[in-house]
Structure 1
Amino acid sequence: MNGKHITKLGFERAAIGLALAAATERERAGVDRGDILTELRAVQADPAAYTAGVYAPLAAELLARAAERDSKAGVALRDRPLPYPVWGEDLIEPGARAQMDVAMRLPVSRAGALMPDAHVGYGLPIGGVLATENAVIPYGVGVDIGCSMMLSVLPAAPGGLATDEARALLLKHTRFGAGVGFEKRDREDHAVLHEAAWDDQPLLRHLHDKAVAQVGTSGSGNHFVEFGTLTVDTPDLGLDAGEYLAVLSHSGSRGFGAQVANHFTALAQKRHPGLNPAAKNLAWLPLDSEDGQAYWQAMTLAGRYALANHDLIHARLARALGERPLAQVSNSHNLAWRQVVDGQDVIVHRKGATPAREGQLGLIPGSMADPGFVVRGRGNAGALDSASHGAGRALGRRAAANTLAKKDVQAYLAQRGVTLIGGGIDEAPQAYKRIEDVLARQNELVDVLARFTPRVVRMDTGSEDV
């Protein structure tokens, strides 16, 4: 362990020597470097929890500097995070807990919860749910505003669509990747593109052309469109029990949403220049401020635009098959909602979390080769009416690309009869937690109504295609 490792963590100059001294002592005790770096991140996130022991001098320095910054900025974090429930704690990495702890120290925070698919993100962890008073946090929503799921159940038997035909349909009627859109002659219209909100802000006017060019398409990363088999065992979806051909998609608000997120995050950070560095990406906008109202308008528009992308994707594929869906289910999982919690009006941020009010339908996918599920919310108040949004990553993208072998991923796909178009090693099923484990940790949050088994999957190309 040396100073370069400490500097990369973002410690200020006065704290580097103290951090290195503590790290050296931990090394002498036989702790490996990776665990020490994890511990140091935890001290960064919540120094008040380390005021005794080997990290005490470092924690004291961090607390002193934080108090100085908070004094200058007029904004102080709580000494301790508010308590919050965690589902599937055994599945969640320490870094995600540390990020959630920081979020619960914000002066505007009122309640929170962590879902079993949680892992480290920017600001609020993926799988984090946070309720705030009169404040909206752009990075509490995320960069891909309105990222969402949609399922269409078609009146056809799963075996009626051959693999080659499914593959050809996905190649013709879907588009993936940063900056990608349909050719102008093939572009479709949607009512969301004609909403008056686009003219209310210079930023939205500027981004309208981008939204038009990318409507009906999907991004990169873990976005997908896939054909598969939906197995229904209950009448809750208005369908007879049995197996159906279905389309499942995961997409968001494309470049439009990303630019909205970054623009308003910069404004929030400018509003709180002395905020503790650990909370920098949790900078908030008062909802009753001009910037807060502007973000809320842009965020909700981006959420509607994301669902419009799903509408067009599913309409294209259904039209190409000459079918009309028997049923559709959709939900957003990167958004903020107005909600009443313990009798108080708050803003509930769900960053990678599925809304799960009592009776509300939602979708929780697995991976490119693992099943997804249609669920019904149980309205758990402790979870702020939320559930996981998927399986959640077990390996970061770089770790997955560096440790997983292409032949093992291909074998996994073959064993499950999945045909993949695109997709990278960084999105391999082995990079994710087991969806069955995640579901087992949230029986209090949702009931499972149906199971979707992927068969032909299209994604953007990754760092290395599978």
Structure 2
Amino acid sequence: MERIEGTVTTAISYAKSIDEKAREQIRRMCSYELTKGSRVRIMPDVHAGKGCTIGTTMTITDKAVPNIVGVDIGCGMYTIALDKQPIDFARLDEAAYIVPSGMNVWLEKQADFDLQQLYCYDKLKNLSWIACSIGTLGGGNHFIEVDKTHDGRHYLVIHTGSRNLGKQVAEIYQRMAVELNAHDETLEERL
């Protein structure tokens, strides 16, 4: 564990190593007043990001800061317990390669997710592409893997990306945050 101190709070990192650019982003973030009273934890997959480091977790309960959430709003982690039986890794690899990753998407919508439920739905672009990207892997630090515990149990772990949907949502709300801050409005007044 490494402690990275800012002027307002201190982050605790669980990464074995952190590049200097990411370390400086963490230090700078821990110097922002909005982090006062927050518990900041840095996960092992930490690397420099746009608004803050990827791999940052933090307790903030009274503020919304879209740039700290980042452009991957809605990425997810799924962990599924498997039996103790041996894993056929060749078959797992075949299955993993079926899931679109990088810039690829499904040919048709796969998930039953109603995009119209999003408050920002009317501002989204490329809706059919977004619908076909839900349930895909993405790129970067997203993965499909099987892990084994010390007692021999296996777990399937999937870290999915939010794809372009997360980026658009982040940008919409970041613009709104800048506008609200410029006019001393609250989000409740806007919605």
Q: Same fold (TM over 0.5)?
A: yes
Q: Which residue of 1 aligns with 2:148?
A: 230
Deviation at 1:219, TM superposition (A): 0.7
What is the TM-score with the length of structure 2 in the denominator? 0.71
> Any conservation in 1 of the 2:110–2:135 contact (CA below 8 Å)?
yes
The structure whose Rg is larger is: 1
**What does 1:300-315 correspond to in 2, within 5 Å?**
none
Q: Does 1:102 align with 2:36?
A: no
Specify which structure has the higher proportion of helix.
Answer: 1
| CA–CA separation in structure 1 for the residues paired with 2:174 and 2:8 | 24
The answer to whether residue 100 in structure 2 is matched with residue 175 in structure 1 is yes
Structure 1 residue 189, shift from structure 2 partner: 3.6
Query: Which position in structure 1 is the counterpart of 2:123?
Result: 203
Aligned to 2:177: 268
Residue aligned with 1:177, SS: coil
Q: TM (normalized to structure 1)?
A: 0.33
Q: CA deviation at 1:182?
A: 1.7
The alpha-carbon distance between structure 1 residues 157 and 133, as it changes in their structure 2 partners (threshold 3 A), is closer
Code of the residue aligned with 2:48 in structure 1: it is V
Unpaired runs of 5+ residues, structure 1, are 1-79, 234-241, 274-284, 294-466
Is 1:141 aligned with 2:59? no
Distance 1:181 1:107, change over 3 A: same
Which whole-Å CA distance do the structure 1 matches of 2:105 and 2:16 have between them?
41
d(CA) in 1 for partners of 2:144 and 2:157?
A: 6
Equivalent of 2:92, from 166, 170, 184?
A: 166
Cα shift at 1:271: 4.9
**How many residues are aligned here?**
182
1:291-440 mapped onto 2 (5 Å cutoff): none
**Secondary structure of the structure 2 residue equivalent to 1:166:** helix
Give per-residue Cα distances to partners, 1:241-297, cap 9 Å, x unaligned: x344x4321112111111111222233345557xxxxxxxxxxx955452xx6xxxx
The alignment's C-alpha RMSD in Å is 3.5
Q: 1:217 aligned to 2:141?
A: no
Distance 1:168 1:93 in 2: 34
Q: Secondary structure at the match of 1:98?
A: helix
Secondary structure of the structure 2 residue equivalent to 1:188: coil
**Which structure 2 residue ranges, 5 or more long, are not aligned?**
1-5
Alpha-carbon distance between aligned partners in 1 of 2:12 and 2:150, rounded to the nearest angstrom: 30
**1:258 pairs with 167, 170, 173, which one?**
167
In the TM superposition, residue 138 of structure 1 has moved relative to its aligned partner by 0.9
- Aligned partner (choices 177, 183, 188) of residue 110 of structure 2: 188
Deviations 1:136-169 (A, max 9, x none): 111111111122221223346224x262x33333
**3-state DSSP of counterpart to 2:137:** coil
